[in-house]
Amino acid sequence: MLLRRLPFFLFLLMPMCVLGQYYMPASGPGLVERRQVVRPPFHVIYRPGEDSLAHATAYYADYYASRSWLSPIRGRAYPILLHHASPVVNGLVAWAPSRMELHPLSAGEWAVPVPWLQHLISHEVRHYCQMSALDRKFVHGLWFALGEQSVALASAVTPLWFLEGDAIHNESRLAGYGRVHSAETYQSYRADLLSHRRLSYDQYISRSYRYSTPNHYGFGAVMVEYVDARYGDGVWPKVVEYTAKYPFVLFPFHFGLKRQTGHTRHQLFNMAFAHMDSLYRSSVLGDFDTVSYPEQDYQRQRYPHFSPSTGNYYFWESDPANTLGLYARDSTGLARLIYEPGAMASAVRYADTLATYTELVPHPIWGRINRHRIVCINLVTQKSYTIPTSDAVVVSPIARPAVGVVEYAGVTAEGRYSLVRMVINSQSSRTKGGETERATLPAGYEIRELAPGRGRNETLVRAVGQLGSMIILYNWDQHGYQILYGPKMVDISGLNADSSAIYFSASYAYARRGFRAAWPADSAGGLAPVLLALPGYGVEDIEARGGHRILYSAFTPNGYRIQEDSLYSTLQVQDSMFDNRVFPMAETDIYPRITRQPNTVGDGVDSTSSSYQLSLHGEPDTAKSVSRNYKTSPYNPLLHAIRIHSWLPFYATPESSSDFLQNSDLGVTLLSQNTVGTLALSGGYFYRQTHGVGLQAVWRGIWPHVAFHGEWGGEPRLWQGRRSVHAQGMRLSGNLALQFPLRFRRGAYFYSTALSLQAQANNNRRYNPIDFTLHLAELRLGAVLSFSASRVLAARDLYTRLGFSISGGVFYQPLFGGMLAPTYRVRGAVYLPGALPNHSLRVGTEVVWQGEARLREIRSFNPTGLQYGAPLALRIGTGMRTYSGIYALPLGYPDLNAGSWVYLKRFTAELSVHYTKLYGVEKPRQYRLVGLALMGDMVFFRTAYQTTLGVQAYYSPYGDRLGVHASDVWSVRAVVNVDLPPVGL
């Protein structure tokens, strides 16, 4: 049995070697000052001024690692990189080179009522423990052959749903509140069960193109929580150990799971579904909980608004066939697209004819550095403008036209939260005023959401502290605040208000529900929320229209839909806190809190401290001061420039291209990448007729980026003498490139431009063909300039619907400047929308002129249409001109599976015409082709690797030769593409 499953392991070996060295996500300025906090085994690397964040990170990492292990953790040093001034809400644990990357500043508007850093580390540390648990048994033995890539191999046969579901379980168990406590995690399953729409196991695990299905986070949460509830939390360590012991078999994780539970993953999922179905049906609150919706295509409509000034409804819509856009619906019911955003990073809030949201803007040079900006849209003119800010993170901007300001929550690079007001000069001007006022709440409060208050100078704030979520009313005139609700462990979102009440959404009775709370009668009063009996399987984005009408986003089996209802039907609830866990979980008695006791009313004053107050869950009246003496030291980028993490039992150049394995040689290769992701090195020994060594370096820590590749030795150096071919000495070659990339995004379009300067040299000897002067070396210089603009892709798009790209290059050999003309290359492509949604037309051209009298293979020649193994004579010449047109279209989304063997998600086709002409031969060679490609996107064995299989057929109606024989006027090729696994979690 083991031997029959062994080849699958060998198949996975090669892709992980590529990913292990290619992953450089932390790329940014390399020679900047950094410091590190050492709490073995963790080394927290950060920028000056972020000491408080770094110390808290070190403490939380140490705390959660001691409670999250799946097996004994090795004491190997492990770096944690804090991204500086990053507004991104994310974290990452990479396989090789092993490291953790955190964006520690803010959770944005996330509803989970736990401080962001605590939640983030409790999740990411579990991934670190998973990697440590996989680095055992047979996998640890592979470390001597592959280095850290051995863990990447084990992770390749461990399903993503387990890795993420297990981390969600850990965050929920140890941080006090996690995603299993939120009804949003399971609401797609609940909607399917209560509406009697049961999708197949394959549609859930492989994510259908046709239906709304949760990602692997939600699927993993169901599987992990059910197994823990039924079999205990000791199952998963044994399953991971089995995977580490037998990674060479086919699907060791699934066999280990069956050994521990006696059931297959499919059977476990069905059992979990049966439990969920029974629980949901016994917890229905009323008829509004089981609404019957007609079967429709999946759509996502969010953030509804009615403008009294225009009389129109507004909402944001996207679906698998279309990207996100703002739509306006008039009184006739006709909806039209009026605006397409960039990378939205917040919910949208309205003030009659003004909409505001936060947009994520990437740095034009450093692609991993981002910033926030506020975008305002005038719904009358349909024009937008941006408001720059000085804060690293902008949370929940709201427009207050009556006051003439925009308010938002700002977060500095050091992690300090503030309420900020900025002037709006006019709704049409692109020049905006600056900051007018800044206020702070007590230290330890994370501001997640803002909404207009009852008065002109009142602002509602949703904040999160160590004890949960709060709704706070801030008064700008009095510079004071009042806690209206909480703190409670409730996942509040969608905060909004009118003159009579406050509205929000929260998880209650296994669904996202809408709540309404009347404003308190006096300053000492609090909120008493009542549940709104609104139809839908989930309620978000509530907006009161006036006249007892309400707009909201209702979750349905077909996605979110905008609905309008009345406010008359409500349910009294004793407490909005509700245990929404679908599967029982053991209670956690202790988890850490870095607390500071706030006042009920007063000014917020931020502060930092090296002494952390830890309160124990279950003992709210007891506070213990725990002093941690962490070792802090400078982090010298030069001393940490080389970090050898892996090695290969053959010689290759991973940084050169993703298909480097095709040109590998006997030998050995060492791989190095520094922790901050700015410098990658590889070097090694090879045998290529003779011995040799090579070195490759990619430095992205400066602009321009620098790439170098050099080799000494290998095959003998051959040169043409006057009468014979000579072999002399060792071969020496080098390639140096400077790259100047720039990237931008404006709305739904990406723009990029790049300039690349290259120099290649070797010690090949060559005679001048005219005067027979002997040149002892060859030098080749080149420059390539490119520009592209493309529209963002929808989920079902095959090509971008609208865009173009153009590039041109020139290459020159100065040692033969008198005889050899430069080589020119020009390439261009245009993308246009097709006749139906998700259809695309690509028209491309390429011209190459090699500038030499002798014939040789055309550089960059695309063998499209030629038979496999066609002779080299069909590809040689001194120049080339080619034109092509490709029409791509989806044929269907069958959602068919053959047991657990294969699941077919989508059929696609490509119709194409090609014309290529080669110059320099006695008679110019032409290839005039028509082509048809049929492909299917499928998943084999219910893995995480989507595969595209298909066939490409070409025919020349003019009798052009495409193969070995003159009569070969057709060609057929197979297409096999495999999506590689992610390089981190």
- Residue 73 is predicted with a pLDDT of 79
Residue 206: pLDDT above 50?
yes
What domain range includes position 103? 32-146
Q: Going by DSSP bridges, is the β-strand pair 803-812/778-791 parallel, antiparallel, or unpaired?
A: antiparallel
Classify burial at 561, counting beta carbons within 10 Å of its beta carbon; exposed 0-12, middle 13-18, buried 19 or more. Answer: buried
- Residue 323 is predicted with a pLDDT of 93
Residue 825: pLDDT above 80?
yes
- Residue 815 is predicted with a pLDDT of 63
Q: Is residue 178 part of a domain?
A: no
How far is Cα 674 from Cα 722, in angstroms, rounded to an integer? 50
Average pLDDT over residues 667-695: 92
Angle at CA of residue 271, ends 192 and 238, nearest 5°: 125
Q: Using the 3D structure, point to which of 90, 119, 146 is the last residue of a domain.
A: 146
Angle at CA of residue 843, ends 842 and 847, nearest 5°: 135
Least confident of 249-263, 344-358, 583-597, 756-770: 583-597
Average pLDDT over residues 150-168: 91
- Is the distance from CB of 100 to CB of 122 less than 8 angstroms? no
Residue 775: pLDDT above 60?
yes
Q: Is residue 84 part of a domain?
A: yes
H or E, element range at 237 = helix 235-245
Q: Is residue 357 part of a domain?
A: no
Cis peptide before 654 (omega within 30 of 0): no
Average pLDDT over residues 791-808: 94
CA-wise closest residue to 785 among 816, 811, 748: 811
Q: Which residue has the tokens 């000052």?
A: 33
Average pLDDT over residues 21-41: 77
Confidence of residue 21 (pLDDT cuts 50, 70, 90): very low
Q: Which residue has the tokens 């998600």?
A: 905
Residue 351: pLDDT above 60?
yes
How far is Cα 550 from Cα 304, in angstroms, rounded to an integer? 10
CA-wise closest residue to 248 among 389, 347, 139, 335: 139
Q: Using the 3D structure, point to which of 146, 173, 196 is the last residue of a domain.
A: 146
Confidence of residue 58 (pLDDT cuts 50, 70, 90): very high
> What tens digit of pLDDT does each residue of 209-218 get?
888 888 999 9
How far is Cα 396 from Cα 577, in angstroms, rounded to an integer? 24
> What tens digit of pLDDT does each residue of 899-923 get?
889 999 999 999 999 999 988 777 7
Percent over 70 (pLDDT), the chain: 86
- What DSSP string describes 776-800? S-EEEEEEEEEEEEEEPPPTT-SS-
How far is Cα 695 from Cα 693, in angstroms, rounded to an integer? 7
- Residue 75 is predicted with a pLDDT of 77
- Residue 627 is predicted with a pLDDT of 37
Q: Is residue 50 part of a domain?
A: yes
Give the 3-state DSSP-derived string for 668-684, with helices as H, strands as E and coil as C.
EEEEEECCCCCEEEEEE
Average pLDDT over residues 660-689: 87
Sheet with 417-423: list strands edge to edge. Answer: 393-400, 405-411, 417-423, 435-439
Average pLDDT over residues 637-652: 90
Through-space distance between the first and last CA atoms of the chain, rounded to whole angstroms: 31
- What DSSP string describes 78-138? EEEEEPTT-----EEEETTTTEEEE--S--TT----S-HHHHHHHHHHHHHHHHHHHSSHH
Coil vs helix vs strand at 188: helix
CA-wise closest residue to 389 among 366, 361, 368: 361
CA-wise closest residue to 574 among 509, 524, 529: 529
Q: Is residue 94 part of a domain?
A: yes
Q: Which two tokens stand for residue 725?
A: 């071919």
Q: Is residue 20 part of a domain?
A: no
Confidence of residue 19 (pLDDT cuts 50, 70, 90): very low
- Is the distance from CB of 399 to CB of 378 less than 8 angstroms? no
How far is Cα 843 from Cα 829, in angstroms, rounded to an integer? 6
- Specify the amino acid at residue 266: H
Least confident of 93-107, 543-557, 757-771: 757-771
- Is the distance from CB of 950 to CB of 128 less than 8 angstroms? no
Relative orientation angle of helices 160-174 and 51-68, to the nearest 10 degrees: 110
- Is the distance from CB of 924 to CB of 896 less than 8 angstroms? no
- Residue 428 is predicted with a pLDDT of 43
Confidence of residue 763 (pLDDT cuts 50, 70, 90): confident
- Residue 860 is predicted with a pLDDT of 66
Residue 926 CB partners (closer than 8 Å, separation 6+): 915, 916, 917, 918, 958, 960
Domains of the chain: total: 2
Average pLDDT over residues 329-358: 94
Residue 429: pLDDT above 50?
no
Q: Which of 145-149, 628-632, 930-934 has the highest mean pLDDT?
A: 930-934
Least confident of 22-31, 779-788, 824-833: 22-31
How far is Cα 803 from Cα 984, in angstroms, rounded to an integer? 31
- Residue 359 is predicted with a pLDDT of 95
Q: Is residue 746 part of a domain?
A: no
- Residue 718 is predicted with a pLDDT of 62
Report the CATH number that the domain containing residue 73 is assigned in CATH.
Answer: 3.30.2010
Average pLDDT over residues 237-263: 93
How far is Cα 774 from Cα 183, in angstroms, rounded to an integer? 78
> What tens digit of pLDDT does each residue of 577-624 get?
778 888 876 655 445 554 444 444 333 333 333 333 333 333 333 223
CA-CA-CA-CA torsion sign (568, 574, 578, 584): negative
DSSP lists the bridge partners of residue 530 as 516
Q: Using the 3D structure, point to which of 146, 176, 198 is the last residue of a domain.
A: 146
How far is Cα 180 from Cα 166, in angstroms, rounded to an integer? 11
Confidence of residue 116 (pLDDT cuts 50, 70, 90): very high
How far is Cα 593 from Cα 620, in angstroms, rounded to an integer? 11
* Helical H segments across 651-748, by residue range: none
Residue 586 CB partners (closer than 8 Å, separation 6+): 173, 233
Q: Is residue 956 part of a domain?
A: yes
Name which residue leads in pLDDT, 665 or 359. 359
- Is the distance from CB of 972 to CB of 951 less than 8 angstroms? yes
Angle at CA of residue 827, ends 821 and 830, nearest 5°: 160
CA-wise closest residue to 221 among 151, 148, 302, 123: 123
- Residue 588 is predicted with a pLDDT of 52
Least confident of 18-22, 193-197, 331-335, 860-864: 18-22
Q: Which residue has the tokens 């003119």?
A: 381
CA-wise closest residue to 540 among 518, 562, 567: 562
- Residue 762 is predicted with a pLDDT of 86
Residue 157: pLDDT above 80?
yes
What does pTM read for this prediction? 0.91
Coil vs helix vs strand at 288: helix
Average pLDDT over residues 735-761: 94
Relative orientation angle of helices 252-261 and 235-245, to the nearest 10 degrees: 140
The mean predicted confidence, pLDDT, of the chain is 85
CA distances from 162 to 95, 168, 941 (A): 16, 10, 16
Backbone φ, ψ for residue 40 (5° rounding): -45, 135
> What tens digit of pLDDT does each residue of 308-317 get?
999 999 999 9
CA-wise closest residue to 350 among 317, 318, 316: 316
Backbone φ, ψ for residue 206 (5° rounding): -105, 0
H or E, element range at 760 = strand 749-762
Residue 730: pLDDT above 90?
no
Q: What does the DSSP 8-state code read for residue 821?
A: P
How far is Cα 793 from Cα 462, in angstroms, rounded to an integer? 34
Average pLDDT over residues 826-836: 96
How far is Cα 196 from Cα 838, in angstroms, rounded to an integer? 30
- Is the distance from CB of 53 to CB of 45 less than 8 angstroms? no
- Is the distance from CB of 315 to CB of 562 less than 8 angstroms? yes
Q: Which residue has the tokens 């199952």?
A: 235
How far is Cα 288 from Cα 509, in angstroms, rounded to an integer? 13
- Residue 925 is predicted with a pLDDT of 86
Would residue 536 be called left, alpha or beta, if left means φ above 0 and alpha means ψ between -120 and 50 degrees? Answer: left
- Is the distance from CB of 441 to CB of 472 less than 8 angstroms? yes
